[in-house]
A and B are shown apart, each in its own frame.
Chain A
């Protein structure tokens, strides 16, 4: 019993310990790492992938998968820029149209998967390609920025609304003046909402039930199709929020595939499986997973580590996290430290 409890302890708290250890190591090597600005900045650097990862978590919970989130995010970035720069509308319509676009894409994904019976990976892969192409059609492949030349030969008159840019740039006084960026507040609010939704409401428990056995859930009278579609709508909306924040930070509509956003957020969600030994998708774990990657990248960059070592370490963390998860569910029962 004693050795078992030790293993369990390692599985439960190993990841959090690893994170604490990293913080200590980085702080010793680079004292600047421990400043409040640095802490807030880590949160800011993971805000966008964190929000996307929470969307991925929602689809993972119902045993689905959404490959289109990166493309939804960059499409939302292009759409918001298009609405403001070319249609010359304000921040509110830009945000609403992006959220609507995210919800619509999620709805189409959900309908393809539930009603047309297309496997989730294939449906969302198709959607990903579709969106990567679609977002470039209106501008013929160009990025959107204020003052850009329109096909008609005039300069675009519109510009990014200041309220919109605030979403990515404004900082709130917290302990120190101008400390916490709005994007971090958005991340924290969304993480709390997702956590509360999945853990505390009936809907959340129903979604977990669908994820573990959809047939049983259906026989118990649950609207399985409805909840699965809902999961993709949540995922699409989260991705569009990520895209809005990205546009607000960059201040332009950037032609980008969003594949890195997809991969980073999936990694965060999968790392989340290992946190507290949950062995299932969960909002708290996802947030910690995103934070973990952010801490690693911030520390390594401060130490002048080149980008490829960062990719390597990101991959290593993911593998270790998966070992944590599957060592727990498997019979082997030996978690690696």
Chain B
């Protein structure tokens, strides 16, 4: 408890400096944010995306001056439901449910709502009208990347597609690919492959090498997940085909930026939502609910298109510079209210 109080003191100390005047205007309970406790209940936590998401949640919580407690179920669906009950028992004011399974989370989320706790869900549908859904739009991600592919290559090319069916965000991205293919009969998909074997980039590289030697006429690889794109790029480089193949993907990380900027890189563009921004939006949506405002049933964080040319022109080397130099990537203007303090940039 002491540590939490110290944390709260530190946080409000930081928040006081820029936000003193604003904080007084904030509606209850944010007129006294040190008394607001929120919980983040996670299903997925390993990997860069989830680390960045967490940092966004932490920063926005700190900026608002509320206390944050993180529960991490490490892909244990039953444990995640128990953790929601734990958070209810602790008497938190709000809960963010991050990923999980509809079946296991639906009832736990309802129990939290019944206990008078405000809940938002990120990337998991808990089938509850009282719970806003924060989403990154997978369809918009895929559409942005494919629009760029068509802008770069015209509407007639031989394509390879990397996909693993049964993973919800990948399925939503694949649905857009099917639509784009149907709308552009000049796109000829000759190979579809993909695997989630760990390390994914290495396994996909092995597959992509086989695909490229079987189909040396491939011009465009659509790899709508950055681990896939990394694997394809390794294979394209190994096959010495980087002059001929263009890779379009979704998501981004510092490592991806480096790969896209390599001399003669085949990785031409990616569409991405900043996971840290998604984390911030999750907290802000919850804050709106707590203040009695309505963020809407679904809060969509819009993606940004990032091309190789952009990265080179702006000389962007990592995620932080990307945020600094591409403002659209650093902040999403959703779930906002005038009284809210944003994290410092």
The smallest beta-carbon distance between B204 and chain A, in angstroms, is 10
Chain B, Cβ-Cβ closest to A153 = B320
Q: Is the CB of B198 within 8 A of A250?
A: no
Q: Is the CB of B230 within 8 A of A250?
A: yes
Q: 8 Å CB contacts to B: which residues of A113-171?
A: 136, 140-143, 145-149, 155, 169
Q: Is the CB of A143 within 8 A of B255?
A: yes
The smallest beta-carbon distance between A261 and chain B, in angstroms, is 8
Complex CA gap A45/B206 in Å reads: 6
B333 CB within 8 Å of chain A: no
Chain B, Cβ-Cβ closest to A30 = B214
Contact of B209 among A33, A45, A258 (CB under 8 A): A45
The smallest beta-carbon distance between A26 and chain B, in angstroms, is 10
**With known contacts A147-B254, A147-B257, A304-B193, A259–B207 Cβ distance under 8 A:** no
A105 CB within 8 Å of chain B: no
Complex CA gap A45/B317 in Å reads: 30
**With known contacts A41-B213, A147-B257, A301-B210, A155–B318 Cβ distance under 8 A:** yes
Q: Is the CB of B255 within 8 A of A38?
A: no
Q: Which of B25-33, B46-54, B117-125, B131-139 lines the interface with chain A?
A: B46-54
**With known contacts A302-B213, A302-B214, A256–B199 Cβ distance under 8 A:** yes
B211 CB within 8 Å of chain A: yes
Q: Is the CB of B210 within 8 A of A250?
A: no
Complex CA gap A260/B48 in Å reads: 20
Q: Is the CB of A145 within 8 A of B254?
A: yes
B185-204: contact bitstring with A at CB < 8 Å (1 yes, 0 no)?
Answer: 00000011111111111110
B293 CB within 8 Å of chain A: no
Chain A, Cβ-Cβ closest to B203 = A260
Complex CA gap A254/B61 in Å reads: 29
Q: Is the CB of A250 within 8 A of B202?
A: yes
The smallest beta-carbon distance between A158 and chain B, in angstroms, is 13
Q: Is the CB of B234 within 8 A of A249?
A: yes
**With known contacts A143-B253, A302-B213, A255–B234 Cβ distance under 8 A:** no
Q: 8 Å CB contacts to A: which residues of B204-220?
A: 205-207, 209-211, 213-214, 216
**With known contacts A37-B213, A250-B234, A302-B211, A145–B199 Cβ distance under 8 A:** no
Interface centre among B191, B193, B202, B203 (most CB of A within 10 A): B202
Q: Is the CB of A255 within 8 A of B213?
A: no
The number of residues on chain A lying at the interface, defined by a beta carbon within 8 Å of a beta carbon of chain B, is 48
Q: Collect the chain B residues with CB atoms within 8 Å of residue A297's CB.
A: 206-207, 210
Q: 8 Å CB contacts to A: which residues of B234-267?
A: 234, 237-240, 253-255, 257-259
Q: Is the CB of A255 within 8 A of B48?
A: yes
B164 CB within 8 Å of chain A: yes
Complex CA gap A140/B207 in Å reads: 31
Q: Is the CB of B193 within 8 A of A301?
A: yes
**With known contacts A250-B234, A304-B192, A142–B48 Cβ distance under 8 A:** yes
The smallest beta-carbon distance between B329 and chain A, in angstroms, is 15
A265-303: contact bitstring with B at CB < 8 Å (1 yes, 0 no)?
Answer: 000000000000000000000000000000001110110
Contact of A149 among B206, B216, B318 (CB under 8 A): B318
B16 CB within 8 Å of chain A: no
Q: Collect the chain A residues with CB atoms within 8 Å of residue B164's CB.
A: 307
B332 CB within 8 Å of chain A: no
Complex CA gap A304/B163 in Å reads: 12
Residues of A within 8 A of B (CB): 30, 32-33, 35, 37-38, 41, 44-45, 48, 74, 77, 136, 140-143, 145-149, 155, 169, 178, 181, 246, 249-252, 254-261, 297-299, 301-302, 304, 306-307, 310
Q: List 23 A-B contacts (CB under 8 A).
A: A32-B214, A33-B214, A38-B213, A41-B209, A44-B238, A74-B199, A141-B45, A145-B254, A145-B255, A145-B258, A147-B254, A147-B317, A149-B254, A246-B202, A249-B202, A250-B201, A250-B202, A252-B255, A254-B199, A256-B198, A256-B200, A297-B206, A301-B207
Sample of 16 further A-B pairs with CB below 8 A, known A37-B213, A142-B51, A147-B318: A33-B213, A45-B206, A48-B202, A145-B255, A146-B258, A149-B319, A249-B202, A250-B230, A250-B234, A259-B198, A298-B209, A301-B206, A302-B211, A304-B193, A306-B192, A307-B193
